[in-house]
Amino acid sequence: MKFRFDAMRHAALRFHVGKSVATAVGAVLAGALLASCGGGEQVSKFSPTRVLVFGDETSVINNDGSKYTVNALATGSTALDCVANPIWVQALATAYNLAFPQCPGTNSSPTGQIFATAGAKVTDVAVQVDQQVTAGGFGNRDLVTVLVGANDVLEQYAQYPSVGAEQLKAQLRISGAALATQVNRIGNLGGKVLVSNVPDIGVTPYALAQKAAFSDTDRAALLTALTGAFNEGMRANLINDGRMIGLLLTDELIDGISKNGSGNGYTNVNLAACSVALPACTANTLIPDPNSTSGATESATTWLWADDLHLSPGGHKSFGSIAVTRAGNNPF
Protein backbone atom coordinates (compact mmCIF):
# COMPACT_ATOMS: atom_id res chain seq x y z
CA MET A 1 0.00 0.00 0.00
CA LYS A 2 2.85 2.37 0.86
CA PHE A 3 4.40 1.76 -2.61
CA ARG A 4 1.09 2.48 -4.27
CA PHE A 5 0.67 5.72 -2.28
CA ASP A 6 4.19 6.92 -3.18
CA ALA A 7 3.60 6.18 -6.84
CA MET A 8 0.38 8.18 -6.82
CA ARG A 9 2.10 11.10 -5.05
CA HIS A 10 4.97 11.18 -7.60
CA ALA A 11 2.49 11.05 -10.48
CA ALA A 12 0.57 14.02 -9.07
CA LEU A 13 3.82 15.95 -8.60
CA ARG A 14 4.83 15.32 -12.22
CA PHE A 15 1.41 16.52 -13.37
CA HIS A 16 1.60 19.81 -11.48
CA VAL A 17 5.18 20.48 -12.55
CA GLY A 18 4.33 19.66 -16.15
CA LYS A 19 1.29 21.90 -16.03
CA SER A 20 3.34 24.80 -14.64
CA VAL A 21 6.00 24.41 -17.31
CA ALA A 22 3.39 24.19 -20.03
CA THR A 23 1.71 27.33 -18.75
CA ALA A 24 5.00 29.22 -18.68
CA VAL A 25 5.98 28.04 -22.15
CA GLY A 26 2.54 28.97 -23.44
CA ALA A 27 2.88 32.46 -22.03
CA VAL A 28 6.29 32.92 -23.66
CA LEU A 29 5.01 31.67 -27.02
CA ALA A 30 1.97 33.92 -26.82
CA GLY A 31 4.18 36.90 -26.07
CA ALA A 32 6.51 36.05 -28.92
CA LEU A 33 3.60 35.67 -31.31
CA LEU A 34 2.19 39.04 -30.27
CA ALA A 35 5.54 40.73 -30.73
CA SER A 36 6.06 39.15 -34.15
CA CYS A 37 2.76 40.61 -35.32
CA GLY A 38 3.65 44.08 -34.10
CA GLY A 39 0.54 44.10 -31.95
CA GLY A 40 -0.19 44.80 -28.34
CA GLU A 41 -0.52 47.96 -26.34
CA GLN A 42 2.19 50.37 -25.27
CA VAL A 43 3.89 49.30 -22.05
CA SER A 44 4.13 53.00 -21.19
CA LYS A 45 2.50 55.83 -23.10
CA PHE A 46 4.76 57.23 -25.81
CA SER A 47 5.50 60.88 -25.09
CA PRO A 48 7.67 62.54 -27.74
CA THR A 49 9.82 65.54 -26.92
CA ARG A 50 9.86 66.84 -30.48
CA VAL A 51 8.25 66.26 -33.88
CA LEU A 52 10.54 66.13 -36.93
CA VAL A 53 8.82 66.67 -40.28
CA PHE A 54 10.07 65.40 -43.64
CA GLY A 55 8.44 65.60 -47.04
CA ASP A 56 6.81 68.07 -49.41
CA GLU A 57 4.59 71.15 -49.19
CA THR A 58 1.69 69.34 -47.55
CA SER A 59 3.79 69.41 -44.36
CA VAL A 60 5.33 72.88 -44.74
CA ILE A 61 4.87 75.94 -42.54
CA ASN A 62 6.79 78.87 -44.02
CA ASN A 63 8.73 81.33 -41.89
CA ASP A 64 5.90 83.87 -42.20
CA GLY A 65 3.45 81.27 -40.88
CA SER A 66 1.79 80.64 -44.26
CA LYS A 67 0.86 77.11 -45.32
CA TYR A 68 -0.15 75.32 -48.50
CA THR A 69 -3.82 75.38 -47.66
CA VAL A 70 -6.35 78.11 -46.81
CA ASN A 71 -4.58 80.39 -44.32
CA ALA A 72 -6.62 81.89 -41.51
CA LEU A 73 -6.60 85.59 -40.69
CA ALA A 74 -6.54 87.23 -37.30
CA THR A 75 -9.90 88.64 -36.27
CA GLY A 76 -10.49 92.02 -37.89
CA SER A 77 -7.09 91.96 -39.61
CA THR A 78 -5.30 90.89 -42.76
CA ALA A 79 -2.47 89.38 -40.69
CA LEU A 80 -2.11 85.61 -40.78
CA ASP A 81 -3.20 83.53 -37.81
CA CYS A 82 -0.99 80.48 -38.29
CA VAL A 83 -2.42 78.64 -35.28
CA ALA A 84 -5.89 78.54 -36.82
CA ASN A 85 -6.50 76.23 -39.79
CA PRO A 86 -3.69 73.88 -38.67
CA ILE A 87 -2.12 71.47 -41.12
CA TRP A 88 -1.87 67.80 -40.18
CA VAL A 89 1.57 67.96 -38.57
CA GLN A 90 0.44 70.88 -36.40
CA ALA A 91 -2.52 68.83 -35.17
CA LEU A 92 -0.15 65.98 -34.36
CA ALA A 93 2.30 68.22 -32.49
CA THR A 94 -0.49 69.94 -30.57
CA ALA A 95 -1.68 66.56 -29.28
CA TYR A 96 1.63 66.35 -27.39
CA ASN A 97 1.76 70.05 -26.42
CA LEU A 98 4.52 70.61 -28.97
CA ALA A 99 4.88 73.25 -31.67
CA PHE A 100 7.12 74.49 -34.48
CA PRO A 101 9.22 77.68 -34.49
CA GLN A 102 7.42 78.83 -37.66
CA CYS A 103 4.16 78.92 -35.67
CA PRO A 104 4.83 78.60 -31.94
CA GLY A 105 1.48 79.89 -30.70
CA THR A 106 1.64 80.05 -26.93
CA ASN A 107 4.51 77.55 -26.75
CA SER A 108 7.55 79.45 -25.51
CA SER A 109 10.03 76.72 -26.41
CA PRO A 110 8.92 75.03 -29.65
CA THR A 111 11.02 71.94 -30.31
CA GLY A 112 9.46 70.78 -33.57
CA GLN A 113 11.56 70.96 -36.73
CA ILE A 114 10.32 71.11 -40.31
CA PHE A 115 12.69 69.81 -42.98
CA ALA A 116 9.89 69.44 -45.55
CA THR A 117 10.09 71.75 -48.56
CA ALA A 118 7.67 72.77 -51.29
CA GLY A 119 8.01 70.65 -54.41
CA ALA A 120 10.05 67.96 -52.70
CA LYS A 121 10.32 64.46 -54.14
CA VAL A 122 11.74 61.24 -52.71
CA THR A 123 15.32 62.19 -53.58
CA ASP A 124 14.88 65.41 -51.61
CA VAL A 125 13.72 63.52 -48.53
CA ALA A 126 16.97 61.58 -48.56
CA VAL A 127 18.79 64.92 -48.35
CA GLN A 128 16.46 66.11 -45.57
CA VAL A 129 17.20 63.00 -43.53
CA ASP A 130 20.94 63.50 -44.11
CA GLN A 131 20.58 67.00 -42.67
CA GLN A 132 19.11 65.67 -39.43
CA VAL A 133 21.70 62.91 -39.18
CA THR A 134 24.43 65.55 -39.45
CA ALA A 135 22.63 67.76 -36.92
CA GLY A 136 22.51 65.05 -34.27
CA GLY A 137 20.42 62.18 -35.54
CA PHE A 138 17.29 60.65 -34.03
CA GLY A 139 16.28 59.64 -30.54
CA ASN A 140 13.64 57.26 -29.20
CA ARG A 141 11.49 60.21 -28.14
CA ASP A 142 11.49 61.77 -31.60
CA LEU A 143 8.18 61.47 -33.43
CA VAL A 144 9.03 61.68 -37.12
CA THR A 145 6.54 62.31 -39.94
CA VAL A 146 7.15 61.49 -43.59
CA LEU A 147 4.86 62.37 -46.49
CA VAL A 148 6.19 62.67 -50.02
CA GLY A 149 5.49 61.18 -53.43
CA ALA A 150 2.79 63.34 -55.02
CA ASN A 151 5.38 65.35 -56.92
CA ASP A 152 7.05 62.12 -58.05
CA VAL A 153 3.72 60.91 -59.41
CA LEU A 154 3.08 64.20 -61.23
CA GLU A 155 6.60 64.16 -62.68
CA GLN A 156 6.02 60.72 -64.17
CA TYR A 157 2.50 61.57 -65.33
CA ALA A 158 3.85 64.54 -67.29
CA GLN A 159 5.68 62.05 -69.57
CA TYR A 160 2.44 60.36 -70.66
CA PRO A 161 1.68 59.34 -73.42
CA SER A 162 5.25 59.55 -74.72
CA VAL A 163 6.10 57.02 -72.02
CA GLY A 164 3.58 54.25 -71.50
CA ALA A 165 1.58 53.74 -68.32
CA GLU A 166 3.27 50.45 -67.37
CA GLN A 167 6.73 51.98 -67.61
CA LEU A 168 5.61 54.94 -65.52
CA LYS A 169 4.16 52.65 -62.86
CA ALA A 170 7.35 50.60 -62.77
CA GLN A 171 9.41 53.73 -62.12
CA LEU A 172 7.04 54.86 -59.39
CA ARG A 173 7.31 51.51 -57.63
CA ILE A 174 11.06 52.08 -57.57
CA SER A 175 10.53 55.57 -56.12
CA GLY A 176 8.17 54.18 -53.48
CA ALA A 177 10.75 51.57 -52.51
CA ALA A 178 13.40 54.29 -52.25
CA LEU A 179 11.16 56.18 -49.83
CA ALA A 180 10.73 53.04 -47.73
CA THR A 181 14.52 52.83 -47.51
CA GLN A 182 14.62 56.29 -45.95
CA VAL A 183 11.76 55.53 -43.55
CA ASN A 184 13.46 52.30 -42.46
CA ARG A 185 16.68 54.22 -42.05
CA ILE A 186 15.04 56.70 -39.66
CA GLY A 187 13.53 53.84 -37.66
CA ASN A 188 16.82 52.00 -37.42
CA LEU A 189 18.47 55.19 -36.19
CA GLY A 190 16.00 55.41 -33.33
CA GLY A 191 13.16 57.66 -34.53
CA LYS A 192 9.51 56.66 -34.20
CA VAL A 193 8.03 57.20 -37.64
CA LEU A 194 4.56 58.00 -38.92
CA VAL A 195 4.70 57.62 -42.69
CA SER A 196 1.71 58.50 -44.85
CA ASN A 197 1.08 56.97 -48.21
CA VAL A 198 0.17 59.38 -51.01
CA PRO A 199 -3.49 60.41 -51.20
CA ASP A 200 -5.08 59.33 -54.46
CA ILE A 201 -4.28 62.05 -56.99
CA GLY A 202 -6.96 60.55 -59.22
CA VAL A 203 -9.72 62.09 -57.08
CA THR A 204 -8.28 65.63 -56.99
CA PRO A 205 -9.75 68.58 -58.92
CA TYR A 206 -6.58 68.42 -61.03
CA ALA A 207 -7.37 64.86 -62.10
CA LEU A 208 -10.97 65.69 -62.92
CA ALA A 209 -9.79 68.57 -65.10
CA GLN A 210 -7.28 66.30 -66.85
CA LYS A 211 -10.00 63.76 -67.50
CA ALA A 212 -12.17 66.43 -69.10
CA ALA A 213 -9.32 67.83 -71.19
CA PHE A 214 -8.04 64.56 -72.74
CA SER A 215 -9.89 61.81 -74.57
CA ASP A 216 -6.96 59.41 -75.12
CA THR A 217 -7.60 57.58 -71.85
CA ASP A 218 -9.30 58.16 -68.50
CA ARG A 219 -6.65 60.47 -67.08
CA ALA A 220 -8.15 60.39 -63.56
CA ALA A 221 -7.99 56.59 -63.56
CA LEU A 222 -4.40 56.78 -64.80
CA LEU A 223 -3.43 59.11 -61.96
CA THR A 224 -5.07 56.72 -59.51
CA ALA A 225 -3.04 53.85 -60.96
CA LEU A 226 0.20 55.83 -60.80
CA THR A 227 -0.45 56.84 -57.19
CA GLY A 228 -1.20 53.22 -56.36
CA ALA A 229 2.07 52.06 -57.91
CA PHE A 230 4.07 54.46 -55.74
CA ASN A 231 2.23 53.37 -52.61
CA GLU A 232 2.69 49.70 -53.48
CA GLY A 233 6.44 50.16 -53.84
CA MET A 234 6.64 51.89 -50.48
CA ARG A 235 4.45 49.48 -48.51
CA ALA A 236 6.15 46.39 -49.91
CA ASN A 237 9.52 47.55 -48.59
CA LEU A 238 8.69 49.07 -45.19
CA ILE A 239 9.86 47.31 -42.04
CA ASN A 240 6.45 46.29 -40.78
CA ASP A 241 7.14 45.26 -37.18
CA GLY A 242 4.69 47.73 -35.67
CA ARG A 243 7.27 49.02 -33.21
CA MET A 244 9.12 51.82 -34.93
CA ILE A 245 6.96 52.62 -37.98
CA GLY A 246 3.27 53.45 -38.15
CA LEU A 247 1.59 53.61 -41.57
CA LEU A 248 -1.14 56.17 -42.27
CA LEU A 249 -3.55 55.03 -45.00
CA THR A 250 -4.37 58.55 -46.07
CA ASP A 251 -5.35 57.35 -49.54
CA GLU A 252 -8.26 55.41 -48.03
CA LEU A 253 -9.25 58.39 -45.91
CA ILE A 254 -9.41 60.81 -48.84
CA ASP A 255 -11.08 58.29 -51.14
CA GLY A 256 -13.77 57.75 -48.52
CA ILE A 257 -14.40 61.46 -48.18
CA SER A 258 -14.49 61.86 -51.97
CA LYS A 259 -17.14 59.18 -52.29
CA ASN A 260 -19.25 60.34 -49.35
CA GLY A 261 -18.40 63.96 -48.73
CA SER A 262 -21.74 65.01 -47.29
CA GLY A 263 -21.62 62.10 -44.86
CA ASN A 264 -18.31 63.42 -43.55
CA GLY A 265 -19.39 67.05 -43.21
CA TYR A 266 -18.06 68.30 -46.56
CA THR A 267 -20.14 70.28 -49.01
CA ASN A 268 -17.70 70.17 -51.93
CA VAL A 269 -15.17 67.45 -52.77
CA ASN A 270 -14.64 68.18 -56.48
CA LEU A 271 -13.56 71.82 -56.76
CA ALA A 272 -10.77 74.02 -55.40
CA ALA A 273 -11.76 76.61 -52.80
CA CYS A 274 -8.98 79.14 -53.47
CA SER A 275 -9.06 81.81 -56.16
CA VAL A 276 -5.30 82.47 -55.87
CA ALA A 277 -2.23 80.23 -55.84
CA LEU A 278 -0.98 78.65 -52.62
CA PRO A 279 0.45 79.60 -50.18
CA ALA A 280 -1.10 83.06 -50.74
CA CYS A 281 -4.65 81.79 -50.27
CA THR A 282 -6.48 83.14 -47.21
CA ALA A 283 -10.02 83.29 -45.91
CA ASN A 284 -10.41 86.43 -48.05
CA THR A 285 -9.51 84.74 -51.35
CA LEU A 286 -12.10 81.97 -51.50
CA ILE A 287 -14.66 81.35 -54.21
CA PRO A 288 -18.32 80.83 -53.28
CA ASP A 289 -19.23 77.19 -52.78
CA PRO A 290 -21.96 76.37 -55.31
CA ASN A 291 -23.08 73.48 -53.09
CA SER A 292 -23.42 75.57 -49.93
CA THR A 293 -26.21 77.89 -48.84
CA SER A 294 -23.69 79.96 -46.85
CA GLY A 295 -21.28 80.73 -49.66
CA ALA A 296 -17.57 81.42 -49.36
CA THR A 297 -17.45 81.60 -45.59
CA GLU A 298 -17.74 77.83 -45.34
CA SER A 299 -15.11 76.97 -47.93
CA ALA A 300 -12.10 76.73 -45.62
CA THR A 301 -13.54 73.88 -43.61
CA THR A 302 -16.23 72.23 -45.70
CA TRP A 303 -14.39 71.96 -49.00
CA LEU A 304 -11.95 69.05 -49.29
CA TRP A 305 -9.46 70.84 -51.53
CA ALA A 306 -7.75 74.21 -51.16
CA ASP A 307 -6.44 74.17 -54.73
CA ASP A 308 -6.49 71.50 -57.40
CA LEU A 309 -3.98 69.25 -55.58
CA HIS A 310 -3.72 70.29 -51.92
CA LEU A 311 -6.01 69.72 -48.97
CA SER A 312 -8.18 72.37 -47.36
CA PRO A 313 -8.08 72.93 -43.59
CA GLY A 314 -11.02 70.53 -43.39
CA GLY A 315 -8.99 67.90 -45.22
CA HIS A 316 -6.02 68.51 -42.95
CA LYS A 317 -8.28 68.16 -39.91
CA SER A 318 -9.36 64.68 -41.01
CA PHE A 319 -5.76 63.78 -41.89
CA GLY A 320 -4.43 65.05 -38.57
CA SER A 321 -7.06 63.07 -36.70
CA ILE A 322 -5.89 59.72 -38.08
CA ALA A 323 -2.27 60.71 -37.42
CA VAL A 324 -3.00 61.47 -33.77
CA THR A 325 -4.88 58.19 -33.40
CA ARG A 326 -2.10 56.15 -34.99
CA ALA A 327 0.59 57.81 -32.87
CA GLY A 328 -1.43 57.06 -29.73
CA ASN A 329 -2.19 53.44 -30.63
CA ASN A 330 1.08 52.37 -32.21
CA PRO A 331 3.27 50.50 -29.66
CA PHE A 332 6.25 52.86 -30.00
Of 163, 167, 168, the residue nearest 153 (C-alpha)? 168
Of 324, 298, 300, 297, the residue nearest 313 (C-alpha)? 300
CA distances from 203 to 98, 223, 265 (A): 33, 9, 18
**Does residue 322 fall inside a structural domain?**
yes
CATH number at residue 253: 3.40.50.1110
**Does residue 25 fall inside a structural domain?**
no
- pTM as predicted: 0.86
Task: Look at the chain and report how many structural domains it folds into.
Answer: 1
For residue 83, give its domain range.
50-329
Q: How far apart are CA 18 and CA 27, in angstroms?
A: 14
Residue by residue, pLDDT tens for the chain (332 residues) are 433 334 434 443 333 434 343 333 343 333 333 333 334 444 578 999 999 999 999 999 999 999 999 999 999 999 999 999 999 999 999 999 999 999 999 999 999 999 999 999 999 999 999 999 999 999 999 999 999 999 999 999 999 999 999 999 999 999 999 999 999 999 999 999 999 999 999 999 999 999 999 999 999 999 999 999 999 999 999 998 878 999 999 999 999 999 998 778 899 999 999 999 999 999 999 998 777 665 444 568 889 999 999 999 999 999 999 999 999 999 99
**Does residue 266 fall inside a structural domain?**
yes
**Does residue 38 fall inside a structural domain?**
no
